[in-house]
Every structure is written in structure tokens, then in C-alpha cells.
Structure 1
Amino acid sequence: MTIQHRLSDQELVALLKKGNQDAFTEIYDRYWRIMYGHVYKMLLDEEESKDVIQELFSALWINSDRVPDQLNLSGYLYVMAKNKVLNLIRKNKFQTAYLNSLSGFITEASTATMDQLNERDLAAAIEKEIQGLPPRMKEVFELSRKENLTYKEIAERLGTSEETVKKQMHNSIRSIKHRLKESGGAAVLLLTFLR
């Protein structure tokens, strides 16, 4: 048992203010469990509570020359602990709000970017497959899908039957879908407009 163990809180504070490490150790031993209990009740997190207690006693030691002479030490430590907990909660709320905001921004930006890339890639893949069609099929397909002509209008323009146009459209769509399926199935889901 050290001599500090027998000292009152006021006597320990007086020694602490002079930089006495033994007095600090006695204060720590005397109040660590009590302060931890208070902090844990507020945070309900063992690790964060230990961190707060560590900060509390570090601040007490670093600022020992500023500790008031006549004080209720347990009350003083409790107020310090409560303030540190409130600061931690504010900081965590701010960080959570910031991270949520940032996460939302990233999600929106990346979703929009991915949509643009997917649309561009899909359009390029479809165009590549259209260009790979036999010339007559390609012509029928482009008249139907790019110029929005009916099968009857295409047949009149090309001097062929409506049934032939219909057959060529069917074959070109089937060919494009098949090639896109082979190159990367996701694009096929977006090709429903080709029906």
C-alpha cells in the first residue's frame, strides 16, 4: 500500500498539479472502474468506452496544472467523461452523415456512369451486329428500326413482298440476338425492343 492510497482526493489533486505521477496513478486506480461504468452506460460499447477512459485520464495528466484546487474529483472526472462521450457522439453522427452523403453521391454517380456506359456499349454492340448482317437483311433492318417504316412500306421501297420483309426482319433479329448472347448475355435482356 502506497502513501498516496491514504490521501484524500484534495491532497491527490494538489500533488497531481505539481506533476506527481504517483498521485496520478492513485487517481487512476481509484476512479478508472467508476468512470468506465458511467461511460459504458452512455455508449454501450466496450472498446469505445475504454478509448474514452484512456482519453479522459490522458487529458487529466496533460492538463493537470489546470485542474481547479478545490473540487469534487469524482464529479470533475464525471463531467469530463460526459463531455468526451458527447463529443464522440457528435463526431460519429457527423462522420455517419458525411459517409452516408458520400456513399449516396458515389452510388448515384457510379449508377449514372454505369448506365451511360452500358447504354453506349449496348448501342455499339448492336450497331456492330447490324453492320455484320448480309446487305439485304441489313437494309431491311435499318429501314424498319432506324427509319421506322412498316413492312409494307419497306416492301414497296425495295420492290419485294411484305412476307419477304417480315422473314428478313425475323432472321436479322434472331441473328443479332444470337451473336449478342454469345458475346455477353446481359445485353440480350435489353434487346426486347427488337421484337
Structure 2
Amino acid sequence: MRYVFSNQKKLIKHLRKGNTAAYSYLVDLHYKKLCDYASNLARDNFKSEDIVQNVITRMWINRKKLSPDISIKNYLYKSVYNEFIDQYRKEIAVTILEKKYIEGLETIIEIKDIPETNKLMTLVQNEIEQLPPRCKETFLLSKQDGLTYVEIAEYQNVSVNTVEKQMVKAFSILRKKMKEKVMSFMFLLFNIKSS
């Protein structure tokens, strides 16, 4: 039996109570339009679906905080926009961080010093091998194979958010285990391999 919640206050009341029929109704009513809106923002169908899924899931998790007086439609569209901005900022932050390491490389390491370079390559590869399996796979798909987060998410059948978390985890583990000099070398190494 399909429920129709014509009154928004009634819909919010049922959502707050955890009524899954109300949630299904909400998804059926707004999902495609929200994906279209997110796609206009992100210019990427996979990322747009990920954004909408994050928003709708988060809304369900926090459903008890929904105000009976809000416009659900406005709330969802604003949340999609905010999620897009958050993801965009994360991507920019990672790109800036990588660029910073690569730009500072000349002052830290002399590539002409082949024995030192070989030693660093071995150290970096050993540390990458020690990463947790999924984390290692994600890291290598990005840094060695040059795949985007969206491509990795599609390949691994996970969300882009999951890929981002795996990359943050990989960088965090590697930073703790390796000195700044080795981290900078790692960025150069994978920049060369992926180009």
C-alpha cells in the first residue's frame, strides 16, 4: 500500500517518528529532481547521486531534529547545495596539499642523488604495502593509476565519500610513519607514475 502525505506537517511528523513509508514517499518525490539539481552543480552524475544519498541519509539519521515548520523541499535543496560545497572544498584542499609538497620538493631532495632516491623509493613502497588492504588499493588507484575519486568509487562500488575517507586515512598513516622528506618524495614519485 502506497502512502500519500499531502500535508507537509503530517509528513514531517511521520518522518520524526521513523515511519519508513514517509521516508520512501519523500525519496520517491524528491530524489530524481535533487539528483538533477546536484548534477547541475557538480557536473558529474556519479558525484551528484552520492551528494543526494548523503543528504537524504543524513536527514533520516537526524529526523528527530526536523522542525514541523520547515519546507522539506527547501531543506533538501539547501542541504544538497551545502553538501556539494563541502565536497568541493575537500577536493580543493587535497589538491592544494599535493601541490604544496610537489612545489617544495626541489629544496628537500636532489633527484641526481640516485642511491638516496632508490633508498627513499624502497621506503615509500614498503610503507604503502603496510597500509590496510582497502586503503592501499584506493591509494594506488588514485596515485599510481591516476583515477579520480569518482572513478575509484565506481570501480570499488562505494561512495565518493568512502574513497575520500580511505585517502585521508592513507595520508594520515603515511605521514605518521614517514618524515617530511619522504612524504614529499612520495608525491613526486606518484606524480611521475601517473602522468
Which amino acid in structure 1 is aligned with residue 26 of structure 2? I
Identity of aligned residues (%): 20
Deviations 1:31-72 (A, max 9, x none): 001111111111101111111011001101000000111111
**Whole-Å Cα distance in 2 between the matches of residues 91 and 28 of structure 1?**
27
Structure 2 residue aligned with 1:116, among 113, 116, 122? 113
Q: 2: distance between equivalents of 1:69 and 1:6?
A: 14
Distance 1:91 1:44 in 2: 17
TM-score computed with the length of structure 1 as normaliser: 0.54
Q: Corresponding residue for 2:72?
A: 73
TM-score normalized with structure 2 length? 0.54
Q: Determine if contact 2:35/2:49 at 8 Å carries over to the other structure.
A: yes
- Where does residue 7 of structure 2 map in the other structure? 8
Aligned amino acid, residue 44 of structure 1: R
Matching residue of 1:96: 95
Aligned match of 1:62: 61
- Aligned equivalents of 1:114, 1:33: Cα separation in 2: 52
Q: What is the match of residue 84 of structure 1?
A: 83
Cα RMSD between the aligned structures? 1.9
SS in 1 for 2:78: helix
Residue 90 of structure 2: SS of its match in structure 1?
helix
Find the aligned partners of 1:39 and 1:66 in 2 and give their Cα distance: 24
> Higher helix fraction: Structure 1 or Structure 2?
1
Runs of 5+ consecutive residues of structure 2 not aligned to the other structure: 116-195
Rate the CA distance shift 1:23–1:105 in 2: closer, same or farther, 3 A: same
Aligned length: 115
Distance 1:9 1:18 in 2: 14
2:119: which partner in 1?
A: none
Aligned position for 2:16: 17
Q: Aligned residue for 1:48?
A: 47
The 8 Å contact of residues 5 and 22 in structure 2, kept in 1 or not, is answered as: no
1:128-149 CA-partner distances (Å, limit 9, x unpaired) = xxxxxxxxxxxxxxxxxxxxxx
| Structure 1 residue 86: Cα displacement | 0.8
List alignment gaps of at least 5 residues for structure 1. Answer: 119-195
Taking the aligned partners of 2:35 and 2:88, their CA distance within structure 1 comes to 16
What is the CA deviation profile of residues 136-164 of structure 1, one whole-angstrom value per residue up to 9, with x for unaligned ones?
xxxxxxxxxxxxxxxxxxxxxxxxxxxxx
Distance 2:54 2:83 in 1: 8
Q: Is the 8 A contact 2:51 2:84 kept in 1?
A: yes
What is the correspondence of 1:131-150 to structure 2 with a 5 Å cutoff?
A: none
**Residue identity opposite 1:51 in structure 2:** D
Instruction: Indicate if the aligned counterparts of 2:5 and 2:11 stay in contact, CA closer than 8 A.
Output: no
Counterpart-to-counterpart distance in 1, 2:64 and 2:102? 44
Tell me which amino acid in the other structure corresponds to 1:87. Answer: D
